[in-house]
Amino acid sequence: MGTVTTADGTEIFYKDWGAGRPVVFSHGWPLTADAWDDQLFLLASHGYRAIAHDRRGGGRSGQPWDGNNLDTYADDLAAVIDALDLHDAVLVGHSTGGGEVARYIGRHGTSRVAKAVLLSAIPPLMLKTSANPEGQPLEVFDGLRARLTADRSQFYQDLSEPFYGANRTGSTVSQGLRDSFWLLSMTVGEKGAYDCIKAFSETDTTEDLKKFDVPTLIIHGDDDQIVPIAAAALKSAKIIPNATLKVYPGAPHGLAQTTAYKDTFNNDLLDFIKS
């Protein structure tokens, strides 16, 4: 574990487990690198170097007032990759982290990247516009901001329910997983969490996706209540050249942490990295 200092002086914390081909994980909002621990442990145990950082604004990284936008998130990711001198890396991004990976490739290219995985990811655009009628209205994201600033602790407890699909009939989501979501989210500063809502909802990554020139696996649940699949994976799969799309029937947004879907995702991830 260590830190990298970015151009604007922000310290970015990262964990670095194992040895071998690097697999770099970018987490979703409003979590931290710890959300990836199951996958980090798995890959490091299978002979890979598993790396994940805390996005600026939360966790063990710095909490600057400025820079909570997708461009800077991508540059922070680049700072970690460059500082560790990673090559032939596999980039894995969940939710906002998927947007971070897309913007990284858009801004920094793929000279250090061999493959990419977008899981329940925000690209190309979450916001509903005349050109993106499948997106969600601005009022949805205004509502997130209002609930965050009114009582962020309760907001995170409530958000964990649709995040993992705990509100669906027959759900096996544990209270422990929901508690973990709350715990990690509460380490994120309010300013970073607030600004990130605009970053993940209003940033169009269409042009970034067009620059993908490495094998890309897109995984999304068709019951994702946070990033609905119609405006996300189904569109990204058509934009990224030769992308592979896997839809998990009934899966929620945070599928990689749920007992119902974690093993399936982990196996698909390992198979894709090995292929």
What does the pLDDT look like over 59-85, one tens digit per residue? 999 999 999 999 999 999 999 999 999
Given a cut of 80, is residue 51 above it in pLDDT? yes
Helices 190-202 and 96-108 sit at what angle, rounded to 10 degrees?
70
CA atoms within 13 A on the CB side of 62: 17
Q: How far apart are CA 111 and CA 156, in angstroms?
A: 38
> pLDDT for 239-256, tens place per residue?
999 999 999 999 999 999
State whether residue 203 is helix, strand or coil.
coil
> Domain ranges in the chain?
2-274
Q: Is the pTM for the entire model greater than 0.85?
A: yes
Pick the CATH number of 2-274 from 3.30.70.3040, 3.40.50.1820, 3.10.20.30, 3.30.70.20: 3.40.50.1820
pLDDT for residue 138: 98
Q: How far apart are CA 238 and CA 245, in angstroms?
A: 9
Question: 61: which residues sit within 8 A by CB, 6+ positions away?
Answer: 3, 10, 11, 12, 13, 53, 54, 55
The average confidence (pLDDT) of the chain is 98
State whether residue 146 is helix, strand or coil.
helix
**How buried is residue 19: exposed, middle or buried, by Cβ count under 10 Å (0-12/13-18/19+)?**
exposed
> pLDDT for 129-176, tens place per residue?
999 999 999 999 999 999 999 999 999 999 999 999 999 999 999 999
Give the active site residues: 95, 224, 253
pLDDT for residue 82: 98
